[in-house]
A and B are shown apart, each in its own frame.
Chain A
């Protein structure tokens, strides 16, 4: 009989769950596009269990991570930081990873990985420029969906500079570019480079070594990935499971913790 473990990642903008069988097979996953402090976590948990036809009691170990991890302590057996969980998830998907770039809703993390575990990291400071929220704001101003940004930016033909100092000021820059009839696709490409430049500055602090893996929702934006590859001079690997990476890492840790408990 299989052992099921559950990883719950409560981020600032989304709630994600991954259920594993025997610590390696993903049997269910869920994502609700609202995060900490909303109904998102409970809905994501209900969904992941329902998809697999399981109950909480069927879970051998539940581990919570993400910004809202401490709100899950009644349900979860343990909590860990999203830093370690992203490192764990990325190492599972890409065993040769040495650098993880995770761009989440409100933070950016660069993780250094040795033998599959995080040995050092750096995070953005109190500014949300260069994060998922930055792209959300820009998409709203440009009247496009955030998931369309990658494809639109790829059609750019002209370089447009957008500053990465501050989300609010960058927004007014975008508005001024729109007022000058600059092509939206060029503006979007400029935004992607703006994010990449900020993230690269952070990444160089901790050092960048192959393989470089990008996780988090923003990794789905091919424009940011490409711009970051140019900035860093490294190939960046992404996975279709990118948004679930933190929850996957949490489920993997949950399995490890379960095994440790069994050994007593």
Chain B
């Protein structure tokens, strides 16, 4: 039976679907579509009614759809090193026109099915049907998929279309591109980059701009060596906002609309506040949902935080969660035995593998660092500049530790699971020191594992399982020790 989806989750899914659909429509109508880094001040683009897409979310979606590897390899073939962030590689390959597509026979225009795909066929009683010839379970043909191949939209567009056969082939090749929204995102007409989220962004977006010969609006946010953001930094950020507005006026041919901007800020603040309240529900013991669910809602807070629909959807989710707490229900499909903070971005291509030992051991993720990272609230343009200075990889270790230890305490965690993400050196680099501080300050065990947010080649399930089991055993021992000490 399909899992029941709450009204809030449904609304949040629709918000993201609509953002993509609106962008596709705008592109088809010849209107401008931009690509933006996740923590670029979206309020500015909203003031110009621009359709903006977010390559980080897109890459996460492509990776979760198991096409991360083919896209990463495509970027490597273009000359990008495999040490570069997996999101960047996927995005750069996409910007170059590369697409994960479905293999088909050019003569018959029929898809060629990969026999290794598909779920077992079940009879009317739900039993698996065994093939008498092979003795193995039969596959459900409806769930079998064609082979995945790499294609290129610019190669497709250059194909001739003089004969009917050529036209049919060209159309079929276009349609063979995988149909999920992240693989059908429009190409950019301009790019908006704010490097607060990660310094790799700078070169990533410069490359896209050069590749597509389109304008780049860059907002540079220096790394914060102190917890407080200095006024000079705020002035630097604010001046860049003003310059970005001027550039957007040139790109769109429109004047900056103060009213629309203020409205977008109101929405962004409302979304951020609702998002923070949703995050706070993880403090309940047992929690009514999992931090992994928050990862799924990241798309909304990134792609649509300046839209009223996102604020409303998060407020709806908040109501669902209040109801869940009242009824003592949870979306976590197992009893919560341990509570951990999951540090870092998940390995999207390996989500089921990531979840398996957590479920088996009753480990619920009740803390993730995204809550404060995207829940920023401000009252004017200067405060907005100050808010955009703080992102997970732009703050000093003291601020980073403070954020995390605050959530760990509030959300009552028993341990920390750290993803040493091969794609994200800035994030993973200071985790060894953070782990040391978590154990010292919070008295909880930490386990680290190697993986990648988008490239499945960097994750080893056997190693991960041992580390999770070790963490569980250490949490058990730690709890027993505390109990013995009468804490």
Contacts and interface: CB of A to CB of B under 8 A. Distances in A.
Interface of A: 67, 80-84, 107, 114-115, 117-123, 125-126, 205-207
B65 interface: no
Interface stretch (B76-84, B370-378, B463-471): B463-471
B436 interface: yes
Contacts of B458: 126
Contacts of B161: none
A27 to B, nearest CB: 26
Interface string B129-149: 000000000000000000000
A119 B448 contact: no
B258 interface: no
B119 to A, nearest CB: 24
24 contacts: A67-B462, A80-B469, A80-B473, A81-B470, A83-B470, A83-B473, A114-B477, A115-B484, A117-B480, A118-B474, A119-B478, A119-B481, A121-B447, A121-B474, A122-B448, A123-B463, A123-B467, A125-B420, A125-B450, A126-B458, A205-B435, A205-B436, A206-B435, A207-B436
Instruction: Give me the 8 closest cross-chain CB pairs, A-B, nearest first.
Output: A83-B470, A117-B477, A81-B469, A84-B473, A120-B445, A125-B450, A81-B470, A205-B432
Q: Which of under 10, 10 to 19, 20 to 34, or 35 or more describes the interface residues of B?
A: 20 to 34
Contacts of A67: 462, 466
Interface of B: 420, 432, 435-436, 439, 445-448, 450, 458, 460, 462-463, 466-467, 469-470, 473-474, 477-478, 480-481, 484
Nearest to A201: B432
**Which secondary structure dominates where chain B touches chain A?**
helix
**Which secondary structure dominates where chain A touches chain B?**
mixed
Contact of A117 (B432, B467, B469, B481): B481
Contacts of B439: 120, 206
Contact of A82 (B436, B450, B466): B466
A121 B478 CA distance: 12
Nearest to A205: B432
A81 B462 contact: no
B473 A118 contact: yes
A155 to B, nearest CB: 36
A120 B439 CA distance: 8
A107 B460 CA distance: 13
Contacts of B436: 205-207
Contacts of A123: 448, 463, 466-467, 470
B477 A119 contact: yes
